[in-house]
Structure 1
Amino acid sequence: MTDVAADLIPTRRAPLEDTARQFAERCAEHAGDHDLSGDFIAGNYKAMKSTGLVAAGVPTELGGGGASVRDLCEMLRIIGGACGSSALALSMHTHQVAIPAWRWHHQAAARPLVEPLLRRVAAENIVLLSSGGSDWIGGSGTAEKVDGGYKIKARKVFSSGAPVGDILMTSAICDEGGERTVLHFGAPMTAEEVTVLDTWNTLGMRGTGSHDIMIDGLFVPDDKIPLRRTAGEWHPGFQLIATMAFPLIYATYLGIAESAREIAVGIAGMKPVSHRRQSTAGRMDTALAATRMGHEHMIAAAERNAPSEQSVNDVMIGRRLVEENAILTVELAMELAGGAGFYRKTGLERRFRDIQAARYHPLQKEAQSEYAGAMALGQPVGRIF
């Protein structure tokens, strides 16, 4: 399998948008091949590292690119238009960088805790994996208390980038005094107790390598657990995660929707104009505009730098708007393109399948509606997830 060229000219000092466009042009050449075979985009990670994309969100003072959340969203939007798998996988690493970077900038007391990890990302180009989708507020896996720490047993699903990850940012549940407590920690992917299972065979996003990860008896010392929280309840740490992570993740889907629109317009331009075709194109562009507005709403909530119940609500309302309208945009792009969109060579059917993944990140529709309704009516939201 051919990937993005390993000798892609490093552009660490170039504007992030230019670097993202250069990367996107190269990985677009092989996105269809990865989709067809289901092969992981391993070679693309080499280019992500060589061009500074992996360290883009690390503060410049710590050796990284110093990109803002808005800049990182633009990076992922551009890449998403070319290769959804590359953008989604990178978004999972990027949000795990953006969260400690936010703490470094805004929480002075947290600097000693997060700075070593951020410096490693910048200096070593380590890749962080997320198990957030499989854990979320409820948590998963078990942590057994032993002398000096905990023994972890868990199976984490949807861990994008698993084949090349260095640290899995994850959690497990222990019973402390009759209360279910979630322990957060980083699991080294090189540990013999950590195994990547070959499970990723899916409808779309087929190159992300989002395999299950099995943790069987990993020892985590007490001093390597930076966060403890009650299982099944929103914690301020998760308000930060939700506020920062989802604008980045959903930038991928905006990019996919925009690229589907461009493909469809190009195909439709080769056909006779009709009122019906114009109507379809108009509905498509309206849905795309709603997608962009929803995503801007998410970014604006993150840029307030005030993680809270309200920021979570705003981000999740935007997330719902992006999900529904991005999917609708691509559906209408398929309709506008007609039968040509059914062929793999146009790239539309891949985008149609990839966009479906927008349905599955938290908060999904029912939970988001309940959360927003509780906020509107002044009711507690601590256990709505």
Structure 2
Amino acid sequence: MSTANPIPADLLERIAARAPGYDAANAFCTEDLDELRAAGYLRLGVPAEHGGQDLGLRATVAVQRTLAKAAPATALGLGMHQVWVQAARSVRARGGSFLQAVTDHAAADHLLAFGVSEPGNDAVLFDSSTTAEPDGDGGYRFTGTKVSTSLAPVWDVLSLFGKDTSGPEPVLVHGFTVRDDGGVTHHDDWDTLGMRATQSRTTVLDAVHVPAERIVRVLPVGPNQDPLTFGVFAAFELLVASVYVGIAERAVELAVTAVRDRTSLDGARRSDDPDVRRALADAQGAVDAVALQVDALARDVDDLVDHGARWFPLLVGTKARTVDAAQHVVDEALRVVGGSAYRAGSELARLARDVRAGQYHPSSRDSAARTIATALLGPIR
């Protein structure tokens, strides 16, 4: 693969052709993963000397945006691997080496997934309901329930995150388990409105043992600016946002094609209707605005720009605005195209279901607003 075209056009066409079937069958995108892995997708962010494309966050955002136009669920699910790879790049660029194992796994084409989200835990990376029990040799045993574990049927390496309360102060422990370790059970419970091919199933951890050499970070409970937190947060927010930019772009493309090919009974072209033209112009403007925001922040991550305390408000605000804009654009496309788009088998109808998943990824609109308000006004007293 070349840097200019990391996913060949013919592969994107096959991925797009398979997307409706995965959605209808509520099945994981197995063939997509197989072909993308063979094409070097899992190594996009790996340094060239280790067999990768050496893409930074900005370039990977562009890849994910393109992949999402073909198959949003494939892009979102496999994007979790890219989040870890880019988090490792961020840590390395800022002088750390504790995520080197992530880069090594990616270089070996191992698929990385997240075991972070928990039911009812809106603190995300800043607290955990999963217990991390020390084993006495620097390792831990993790017990708890995780939700929205994308790539559940197929991951090779799963990140784990839990709280150790055995000391004078509780701490948050980050480590990695591999399939052969055992103790991980996935429920077959991913039956959702959209993003079905991610198969982001509920995961139960039963004293999963992670040895000391696979524990990568121990942090205090609560908000922090640790390189791990920043690396994961920046990559997650922007790579997830890029998927929704791709959805919005595709919705505009579908709407433009539909109105160009349509005429009314009197022969008037739908594309000449001033209301349609205004609606599509506004939709494209909304896409342009969020696409530029996501691209600019990803560039700043790569370039080590120091936004200081502004980083987190900028990241959460951009992700939340992107999701809201994408949903608005898809809804406008449905309205402009008309009743044909409302059929269950139409691509726009699938996008309308997929786009609504965005509100459930951290950070939500409400969480983003709280973060921004705290940055402006300070914490609530």
Q: Which moved more, 1:32-41 or 1:213-222?
A: 213-222
- Alignment of 1:126 with 2:97, yes or no, is no
- Alignment of 1:54 with 2:42, yes or no, is yes
Aligned Cα root-mean-square deviation (Å): 2.1
- What 5-or-longer segments of structure 1 have no aligned partner? 1-11
CA gap of 1:116–1:374, structure 2 versus 1, over 3 A, is closer
Q: Which moved more, 1:312-321 or 1:32-41?
A: 312-321
CA gap of 1:18–1:186, structure 2 versus 1, over 3 A, is closer
- Alignment of 1:319 with 2:300, yes or no, is no
Q: Which AA in structure 2 matches 1:17?
A: N
- C-alpha distance in 2 between matches for 1:72 and 1:117: 16
* C-alpha contact (below 8 Å) 2:58/2:295 kept by paired residues: no
CA deviation digits over 1:160-183, x for unaligned, max 9?
Answer: 111110111121111033432111
Q: CA deviation at 1:47?
A: 0.9
Q: How many residues align?
A: 365
In the TM superposition, 1:265-284 aligns within 5 A as 265-269=256-260, 270-271=262-263, 272=269, 273-284=272-283
Q: CA deviation at 1:222?
A: 3.4
Aligned twin of 1:89: 77
Aligned twin of 1:359: 359
Q: CA deviation at 1:380?
A: 5.5
* C-alpha contact (below 8 Å) 1:59/1:66 kept by paired residues: yes
- C-alpha distance in 1 between matches for 2:321 and 2:296: 9
Q: Which AA in structure 2 matches 1:244?
A: A
Aligned twin of 1:189: 179
CA gap of 1:61–1:103, structure 2 versus 1, over 3 A, is farther
CA gap of 1:380–1:60, structure 2 versus 1, over 3 A, is farther
Q: TM-score, normalised by structure 1?
A: 0.89
2:159 aligned residue (158, 169, 176):
169
- Alignment of 1:33 with 2:24, yes or no, is no
2:251 aligned residue (260, 279, 291):
260
SS in 2 for 1:296: helix
CA gap of 1:285–1:311, structure 2 versus 1, over 3 A, is same
- C-alpha distance in 2 between matches for 1:241 and 1:309: 16
- C-alpha distance in 2 between matches for 1:18 and 1:96: 18
Aligned twin of 1:3: none
Aligned twin of 1:302: 301
- What 5-or-longer segments of structure 2 have no aligned partner? 119-123, 264-268
- Alignment of 1:144 with 2:133, yes or no, is yes
- C-alpha distance in 2 between matches for 1:310 and 1:58: 28
CA deviation digits over 1:285-316, x for unaligned, max 9?
Answer: 23222332332343244234247432222122
* C-alpha contact (below 8 Å) 1:89/1:161 kept by paired residues: yes
* C-alpha contact (below 8 Å) 1:17/1:74 kept by paired residues: no
CA gap of 1:223–1:307, structure 2 versus 1, over 3 A, is farther
Q: Which moved more, 1:229-238 or 1:91-100?
A: 229-238
Aligned twin of 2:266: none
Identity %: 23
- Alignment of 1:372 with 2:357, yes or no, is no
Q: Which AA in structure 2 matches 1:227?
A: R
CA gap of 1:26–1:121, structure 2 versus 1, over 3 A, is same
CA deviation digits over 1:249-285, x for unaligned, max 9?
Answer: 2111111110111111111112333233223223322
* C-alpha contact (below 8 Å) 1:127/1:165 kept by paired residues: yes
SS in 1 for 2:55: coil
- C-alpha distance in 2 between matches for 1:295 and 1:103: 20
CA deviation digits over 1:112-160, x for unaligned, max 9?
Answer: x3334312321x2100001344343222311123332322112111111
Aligned twin of 1:240: 231
SS in 2 for 1:40: coil
- C-alpha distance in 2 between matches for 1:307 and 1:89: 29
Aligned twin of 1:115: 100
CA gap of 1:307–1:141, structure 2 versus 1, over 3 A, is farther
Give structure 1 regions of 4+ aligned residues with deviation exceeding 4 angstroms: none
* C-alpha contact (below 8 Å) 1:229/1:235 kept by paired residues: no
